[in-house]
Structure formats: C-alpha cells, structure tokens
C-alpha cells in the first residue's frame, strides 16, 4: 500500500486559486451573463473565474500525487519591486503618458532580479517600451496619449 504524499506549497496554491475563482465567479453572477454569441458584461469574468478554479483543482490534485519541495524563504526583493510596478503604472499613465510610465514601470520591475545590471535593465526597458508603442499605438491604433500633461514638452 503506497503512502499519499502532500506537496503543501502546491496544495496551498491550488486552494487559493479555487477560492479566488469561486469568489470572482460569484461576483460575476450579479452581472448579465448572456450567451457565447451575445456576451453580457459578466460572461468573460465568469469564464475566467471558472478557468482559474479549474486550474486550482488540477494543482490541488497534483499536490496529492507528487511530493514537492518545502516552501523556501520569501523573496522580499521580488515583492518590493514587482508589486509596486503596476501600481506605479496605474497612477502615472494619465499624467506622464504611456511611454514614460511603461519605461519606468519596466525599469522598476527589472530590479527584482539580483542578476539584472543597470545597463541590461535600461536596454530591456527601452526594448519593452518601443515594442509596446509599436504594437499598441501604431499596429492596433489604440487611442492613448504617448506623453502626458505632466511633462513640459
């Protein structure tokens, strides 16, 4: 008789995914769902919430089948740089504009890795910014300001 092993890290992640999926599925039920051909405002959030819960269930089942490694130390550096980056973007995109906000957001997120040097971070930030402007502004033609009102030019 084989002994069941539990990967606590994956079990915890699976449970969190299921909880978030259930929460957002319940929230989207308050909106009109519609059909696949005539989607209401609650259709897409409901589908995403169900996919999230399904992925959580798969992860939870796998946690009982495969032994995993224990949870290691918390990556404080990553949390210190990754979590504020989208907040910075959201707070500055209207005032600074898309180009400077995206550049500085990418630059902030680059320093989450200890292996990222300043020159590589600058190169990556410039590359992501140029690529995003080319795709979202020129290719897709999305109507946003590239440079905002906080800048003197």
pLDDT along the chain (153 residues), means of 10: 74 96 94 89 94 96 79 87 96 96 97 94 98 95 92 83
Q: Do 129 and 110 belong together in one domain?
A: yes
Distance between CA 27 and CA 21 in Å, rounded? Answer: 10
Q: State the pLDDT at residue 29.
A: 87
- Burial of 114 (C-beta count, 10 Å sphere; 0-12/13-18/19+): exposed
Give me the number of domains the chain comprises: 2
Q: State the pLDDT at residue 61.
A: 93
- The residue whose two tokens read 């039920």 is 29
Q: HEC string of 23-71?
A: HHHHHHCCCCCECCCCECCCHHHHHHHHHHHHHHHHHHHHHHHCCCCCC
Does 99 map to a domain?
A: yes
Look up the pTM and report it: 0.65
Domain residue limits at 53 = 8-65
């Amino acid at each position: 008789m084989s002994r069941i092993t539990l990967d606590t890290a994956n079990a915890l992640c699976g449970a969190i995914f299921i909880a978030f999926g259930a929460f957002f599925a319940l929230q989207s039920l308050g909106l009109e769902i519609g059909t696949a051909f005539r989607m209401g405002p609650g259709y897409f959030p409901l589908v995403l919430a169900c996919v999230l819960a399904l992925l959580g269930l798969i992860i939870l089942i796998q946690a009982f089948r495969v032994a995993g490694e224990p949870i290691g130390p918390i990556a404080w550096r990553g949390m210190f740089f990754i979590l504020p980056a989208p907040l910075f973007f959201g707070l500055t995109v209207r005032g600074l504009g898309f180009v400077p906000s995206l550049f500085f957001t990418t630059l902030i997120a680059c320093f989450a890795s200890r292996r990222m040097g300043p020159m590589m971070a600058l190169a990556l930030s410039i590359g992501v910014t140029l690529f995003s402007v080319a795709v979202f502004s020129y290719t897709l033609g999305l109507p946003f300001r590239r440079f905002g009102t906080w800048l003197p030019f």
